[in-house]
Amino acid sequence: MSSLSKLTRNENMKIYRRSRTWIMIGFLLLAIALLSGIMKWDESRVDHSNWEQLLEGQNAGLQQQLTESGEIDEEYKAYLTEQIKLNEYYLEHGINPHQLSLWSYVSSSSNLIMLVTILTVVIAADMIAAEFSWGTIKLLLVGPASRSKIMLSKYIATLGFALLLLILCFAASFAAGGLLAGFEGVNQPLLTVQNGVVHEGSMIIDTLKTYGFSVVSLIMYVTMAFMISSAFRSSSMAIAFSLLFMLLGNTLSALLSGYSWSKYLLFSNIDLTQYLEGGTPLRPEMTMGFSILMLAAYYVAFQIIAWLLFTKRDVAA
């Protein structure tokens, strides 16, 4: 086994033998269970026996808006037209859009990826700073492995933990959706309207796309937390600053969005889901390619800074 593999295995042992880690995993599963339970309870309060009449009435109201509103803008008119087309498709194929399916639970669980990110950031911010808090940093560095390999093993172990949480989030919500709504909904299509025609797509591909874009922001937050962990000797300080930047970054970007230079900020580009259908970029001139380029630049900068802080750091104290 290579030295990097051994180091990564040791870092995994440090993560998973701590009770805090299993509390985090349990908390995530509890959050999924609560979210699924609330969704099922909320659905049970709705009478679905007359859903066809409700859709027909909704379509009549939408048609009336289209014919009577002379000053309606084109964007809203397109939305009304698409909604009418979707409702007609639901009625024609006997699909109740208000009834939860397996994918309804899985899609809602994507909102919990932020929780996954927070839990992983706590681990990442603690990976290097904890060695100073425990007084084990000297013991770690006197071994034959280079500082670069030690840092890389910690980074790999942290990303492995993030991947585990993502898999658990998807699997648990999929299981909850199957148990509460039935696994027959696994083949339910994703319906979209293009050029006035309803098209069927794949729900699993759409869900994986959402998860995939969210993984990009997760990796960026983890890398930032890892850099901050390299700068502090205190675990609590590293965790506090990492969570502070993470939780306030998006708010700061939104407040500064009126300035053209705000598009160069990390937090203006970190959420790639803004480029999915129905999303709106923070600045109109921003594109997915631009955001990916900016994220790549920040990623390289974070890695270089973290490497310099850890490899050049004096640990005599």
pLDDT at 126: 83
Question: DSSP of the chain, one letter per residue?
Answer: --HHHHHHHHHHHHHHTSHHHHHHHHHHHHHHHHHHHHHHHHHHTS--TTHHHHHHHHHHHHHHHHHH-TT--HHHHHHHHHHHHHHHHHHHHT--TTS--HHHHHHHHGGGHHHHHHHHHHHHHHHTHHHHHHT-HHHHHTSSS-HHHHHHHHHHHHHHHHHHHHHHHHHHHHHHHHHHH-GGGGGPEEEEEETTEEEEEEHHHHHHHHHHHHHHHHHHHHHHHHHHHHH-S-HHHHHHHHHHHHHHHHHHHHHTTTSGGGGGSHHHHS-GGGGSTT---SSTT--HHHHHHHHHHHHHHHHHHHHHHHHS-----
pLDDT at 293: 95
Q: Where are the domains of the chain?
A: 3-22+101-311
pLDDT at 317: 47
Per-residue confidence of the chain (317 residues) as pLDDT tens digits?
468 899 999 999 999 999 999 999 999 999 999 999 999 999 888 777 788 998 888 888 888 887 876 667 777 788 888 888 888 888 888 888 888 889 999 988 888 998 999 999 889 888 887 777 777 777 777 777 788 888 899 999 999 999 999 999 999 999 999 999 888 878 888 888 887 788 888 888 888 888 888 888 899 988 988 888 888 767 777 788 888 887 888 788 888 888 888 899 888 898 888 887 666 788 888 888 999 999 999 999 999 998 888 887 666 54
pTM given for the model: 0.85
pLDDT at 141: 72
